[in-house]
Amino acid sequence: MSRPESSLSIALVGPGRVGRSLLERLQAHAPETWQLMAVADSTRLRRGPIERSEWAQPFADEAFQPRASDRDWQDELLRRDGIPVLIDASASAEVADAHADCLARGIHVVTANKLAMACPSSDWERLRAASERSMYGISATVGAGLPVLDSLRELRRAGEPVRRIRGVLSGSLSALSEGLSVGRRASEVLETLRRDGLTEPDPRTDLGGLDVARKLVILAREAGLDLSLDALVVDSLVPEELAALSLDSFLRSGAVLDRHVAQCVDRAPGSGRHLAYVAELEVDGRACVGLRRLDDGDSLAQLSGQGNRIEVTTECYAAAPLSIEGPGAGLEVTALALWRDLVRISESVRRCR
Ligand SMILES: NC(=O)C1=CN([C@@H]2O[C@H](COP(=O)(O)OP(=O)(O)OC[C@H]3O[C@@H](n4cnc5c(N)ncnc54)[C@H](OP(=O)(O)O)[C@@H]3O)[C@@H](O)[C@H]2O)C=CC1
Ligand SMILES: N[C@@H](CC=O)C(=O)O
């Protein structure tokens, strides 16, 4: 006998490229019992319940207000009968800071935003403890939903210690490395990647290695290893003189970027003919991310497009690492990862009834 769907009361923060893709999916496929109770961007708030026909365009009419306190709509989510869920599809530190509070108050959180999971060590214990109170869906934060975080969590629960993680963790840098290998200019490749929704809102977060560093911290934490951003060696592809410019000025500085990236390519460690931006973590805590020249036989040299590959070495997976490969960025795969976490919350609540 099929049981009724759980009713979810959803608030979505960050209806940008990823957020809109998810809203379209929700509008088309969410069970009737799911309600959209709030949508907020950096300045606007639309309170619900919102008519389903308007989910994909929540700010299309004037039915929104300036965004003030989030506490009000969070309180309302908690007062409703449905299961309260916050979806964070922003890249905002302010929204990330609210994850631990929401989880501690009984609001489940589903996020594409990596900032909370990659927080400083001093904040980590609080977030970890809060995520035992409510469900924390983080599948979208690494590999755009490739099943790597689930695998690491299961290895940890099974008592199988992780010794090493190595991989290509950025879809945009994977595609950039491929473009550079065949002689394309960095600025030209970057423009296409931005248009296709593969970069961070500010692509310097990708080029500077910070996005990859955050993902490595998230992988390490999910594997039960102690790593924080300040312990990582990060090789940046962003020239210093472009680091503090406004986004528009940075995007107009293609020639400077191209010269700098060409120097980074010349200086990249290794002797092979394949370029890749590689993340490495050893069990003793040594961790680095940077551009490398890889030999033909290297498994990471075989990637194309926005391909990611994550290799996990454990005692059982010693001779050959556990390897997970697939597209590591993209609006639809990321929205699908968020959707899968929502379905997981809905099903797990249904099972507990
Ligand atoms: N693209 C991809 O392949 C993947 C992306 N992600 C993650 O998805 C997230 C979203 O990326 P993307 O959709 O490209 O980003 P966008 O810039 O397109 O959208 C970001 C959204 O967040 C909103 N926002 C910004 N600051 C705040 C704030 N303080 N409070 C509420 N909303 C805010 C923006 O609103 P406003 O317009 O008002 O600023 C906008 O609606 C990022 O964290 C990214 O790392 C994760 C995996 C893969
Ligand atoms: N900008 C990121 C998107 C996913 O996290 C990437 O390039 O991998």
What are the two backbone dihedrals, phi and then psi, of residue 53, each rounded to the nearest 5 degrees? -65, -15
- Could you give the 3-state DSSP secondary structure of residue 29? helix
Note whether 176 and 289 are same-domain residues.
Answer: yes
2 located within any domain: no
What residue type is assigned to position 120 of the chain? P
Would the CB of 88 count as within 6 Å of ligand 2?
no
Q: What is the 3-state secondary structure (H, E, C) of 279-307?
A: EEEECCCCEEEEEEEECCCCHHHHCCCCE
The residue whose CA has the least distance to atom 32 of ligand 1 is 41
CATH code of the domain in which 246 resides: 3.30.360.10
**Which burial class, exposed, middle or buried, applies to 118 when counting CB atoms under 10 A from its CB (0-12, 13-18, 19+)?**
buried
196 located within any domain: yes
CB 90 within 8 A of CB 14: yes
Distance 17 CA to ligand 1 centre (A): 7
pTM recorded for the entire structure: 0.96
Give 143's contacts (C-beta < 8 A, 6+ positions apart).
169, 215, 308, 310, 324, 326, 328
Note whether 162 and 309 are same-domain residues.
Answer: yes
Note whether 137 and 169 are same-domain residues.
Answer: no
Note whether 93 and 202 are same-domain residues.
Answer: no
Would the CB of 206 count as within 6 Å of ligand 2?
yes
Structure tokens at 247: 């986004």
Note whether 229 and 308 are same-domain residues.
Answer: yes
**Which burial class, exposed, middle or buried, applies to 318 when counting CB atoms under 10 A from its CB (0-12, 13-18, 19+)?**
exposed
Distance 7 CA to ligand 2 centre (A): 31
Rounded to an integer, what distance in angstroms lies between the CA atom of residue 14 and that of residue 325? 28
Rounded to an integer, what distance in angstroms lies between the CA atom of residue 97 and that of residue 267? 38
Distance 64 CA to ligand 2 centre (A): 30
Note whether 265 and 123 are same-domain residues.
Answer: no
Domain that holds residue 38: 8-143+332-351
CB 201 within 8 A of CB 16: yes
Distance 170 CA to ligand 2 centre (A): 5
| Closest by Cα among 269, 263, 309 to 293 | 269
Radius of gyration of the chain (CA): 21
What are the two backbone dihedrals, phi and then psi, of residue 166, each rounded to the nearest 5 degrees? -140, 140
Structure tokens at 108: 């489940």
Residue 279: beta bridge partners? 167, 289
Number of domains in the chain: 2
Rounded to an integer, what distance in angstroms lies between the CA atom of residue 117 and that of residue 286? 19
Q: What are the helix (H) ranges across 132-282?
A: 148-157, 171-181, 186-195, 204-207, 210-222, 240-243, 247-251, 254-267
251 located within any domain: yes
Note whether 80 and 164 are same-domain residues.
Answer: no
Note whether 205 and 285 are same-domain residues.
Answer: yes
Structure tokens at 328: 């590591």
What residue type is assigned to position 243 of the chain? A
Note whether 207 and 289 are same-domain residues.
Answer: yes
Give 269's contacts (C-beta < 8 A, 6+ positions apart).
290, 292, 293
1 located within any domain: no
The residue whose CA has the least distance to atom 4 of ligand 2 is 329
Q: Which ligand is nearest to the CA of 13?
A: 1
Structure tokens at 287: 């961790």
Distance 29 CA to ligand 1 centre (A): 22
323 located within any domain: yes
Would the CB of 75 count as within 6 Å of ligand 1?
no
Residue tagged 């631990």 (tokens):
100
CA dihedral 6→7→13→19, nearest 10 degrees, is 70
pLDDT tens for the chain, 353 residues: list them. 445 567 999 999 999 999 999 999 999 999 999 999 999 999 999 998 999 999 999 998 777 888 888 888 898 889 888 999 999 999 999 999 999 999 999 999 999 999 999 999 999 999 999 999 999 999 999 999 999 999 999 999 999 999 999 999 999 999 999 999 999 999 999 999 999 999 999 999 999 999 999 999 999 999 999 999 999 999 999 999 999 999 999 999 999 999 999 999 999 999 999 999 999 999 999 999 999 999 999 999 999 999 999 999 999 999 999 999 999 999 999 999 999 999 999 998 776 66
Rounded to an integer, what distance in angstroms lies between the CA atom of residue 14 and that of residue 238? 26
3 located within any domain: no
Note whether 165 and 297 are same-domain residues.
Answer: yes
What are the two backbone dihedrals, phi and then psi, of residue 288, each rounded to the nearest 5 degrees? -150, 155
Would the CB of 345 count as within 6 Å of ligand 2?
no
81 located within any domain: yes
Instruction: Point out the ligand 2 atom lying closest to the alpha carbon of residue 142.
Output: 5
Q: Which ligand is nearest to the CA of 328?
A: 2
Note whether 116 and 183 are same-domain residues.
Answer: no
Note whether 254 and 345 are same-domain residues.
Answer: no
CATH code of the domain in which 97 resides: 3.40.50.720
Q: Which ligand is nearest to the CA of 64?
A: 1
Instruction: Point out the ligand 2 atom lying closest to the alpha carbon of residue 328.
Output: 8
Residues with active-site annotation? 215
154 located within any domain: yes
Structure tokens at 289: 């991310």
Instruction: Point out the ligand 1 atom lying closest to the alpha carbon of residue 92.
Output: 26
The residue whose CA has the least distance to atom 29 of ligand 1 is 42
CB 43 within 8 A of CB 68: no
